[in-house]
Amino acid sequence: MKILVTGANGQLGHEMKNVLEDKMPGITLYTDINELDLTDAKAVEKYVLDNEVTHIINCAAYTNVDRAEEDKLLCASINVNAVKNLAAAADQNGAKIIHISTDYVFDGKSYKPYCESDKVNPISQYGTTKRQGETSLLALAPNSIIIRTAWLYSPYGKNFVKTMLELGATRKELRVVCDQIGTPTYARDLADAIYAILSSQQWVSGIYHFTDEGACSWYDFTKSILRIAGLKGCKVCPIPSEDYPTAAARPYYSVLNRNRIKVTYDIEIPHWEESLQDCIKRLKEED
Ligand SMILES: NC(=O)c1ccc[n+]([C@@H]2O[C@H](COP(=O)([O-])OP(=O)(O)OC[C@H]3O[C@@H](n4cnc5c(N)ncnc54)[C@H](OP(=O)(O)O)[C@@H]3O)[C@@H](O)[C@H]2O)c1
């Protein structure tokens, strides 16, 4: 087994490295754009062949949801073309792919957790390109596994938890959207789930949903972040989405049903608040 983790400097890439170096040491290659630009088809093909890669975990993506509305070409080249390049290289070399997608493939008009078979209807450029990445991958490399996740955070890079911790320590009041419902997901938990797939005896291709357990609004999430961090001097006020305009539209409801991955790979998923405590503990230890 020779595993390639792409986007290794990102949130999930970092956590993937932590998990695999601990549980499957010495068999994984880690690349980000400086080592391997996934939009370069020839370079991808050569890398997979030269290194005899058997499994690709694609953690690379264009993830800035608002900037994607302007930056359409770059967003599509990373979220669609790069995925096609990986699929072609994997197909030629018999490698298997685990690719990460998003809850933003849905329009958010549901009132119950989305299943993998539910109709997609992305409402942003980011969501549209991520969906195109999914369909391209399944067409070119149907043996792939796609995991849709949501609201990722970790001790690495920029994310909602780190932003709220900074703002909560310096501001007296924060106004946070209370009418978008989803599930905060600790990148470490997703990395553990990917490890469970890699180390299992079975490879069942197709789409899976993975988030932490539970659901909340960005407002609820912020209240928990500040409470767990002990930041008592900042008041959190709920506001509707219309009072916080953003370049990209976001689904009002994007909770994912995680039964398929839990049953197929016998995965136990922690509640988002439990995992949030672990992340904040790690961030405090780093200080
Ligand atoms: N973050 C979320 O809330 C969220 C929610 C749902 C789904 N997801 C999905 O989860 C996955 C992991 O997200 P994440 O938050 O870990 O992403 P991230 O932190 O933004 O990391 C993505 C990594 O990919 C790299 N990259 C960009 N273009 C590349 C290229 N051409 N070749 C190689 N690498 C390239 C980025 O480098 P640069 O930083 O230099 O661009 C970055 O290091 C993605 O598929 C994302 O769409 C994320």
Spatial distance between the Cα atoms of 84 and 287, rounded to a whole number of angstroms: 40
Closest residue CA from atom 15 of ligand 1: 11
* Residue 105 within a domain: yes
- Number of Cβ atoms within 10 Å of the Cβ of 129: 25
**Residue nearest (by alpha carbon) to ligand 1 atom 48:** 152
Residue 238 located in a structural domain: no
Q: Whose CA is nearest to atom 39 of ligand 1?
A: 10
Chain segment 113-160, per-residue pLDDT in tens: 999 999 999 999 999 999 999 999 999 999 999 999 999 999 999 999
In a domain, 160, yes or no: no
* Number of structural domains found in the chain: 1
Asked if residue 182 lies in contact with residue 150, where contact means CB atoms within 8 angstroms, the answer is yes
Please check whether residue 191 lies inside any domain of the structure: yes
| 108 is a domain residue | yes
What's the 210 CA to ligand 1 centre distance in angstroms?
17
Question: For ligand 1, which residues put their CB under 6 angstroms from it?
Answer: 6-7, 9-12, 32-33, 37-39, 59-61, 63, 78, 82, 100, 102, 130, 149-152, 157
Question: How many whole angstroms separate alpha carbon 208 and alpha carbon 100?
Answer: 10
> In which domain, by residue range, is 64 found?
3-153+185-213+256-270
Output the CA–CA distances (angstroms, integers) from residue 280 to 13, 63, 154, 156, 266, in the order listed.
19, 22, 9, 12, 27
- pLDDT tens profile 180-208: 999 999 999 999 999 999 999 899 999 99
Q: Round to whole Å and give the CA distance between 197 and 146.
A: 12
* Residue 277 belongs to a domain: no
CB 120 within 8 A of CB 244: no
pTM: 0.98
42-87 pLDDT tens trace = 999 999 999 999 999 999 999 999 999 999 999 999 999 999 999 9
Examine residue 81 and state whether it is found in any structural domain, yes or no.
Answer: yes
- The answer to whether position 138 is within a domain reads yes
262: domain CATH number? 3.40.50.720
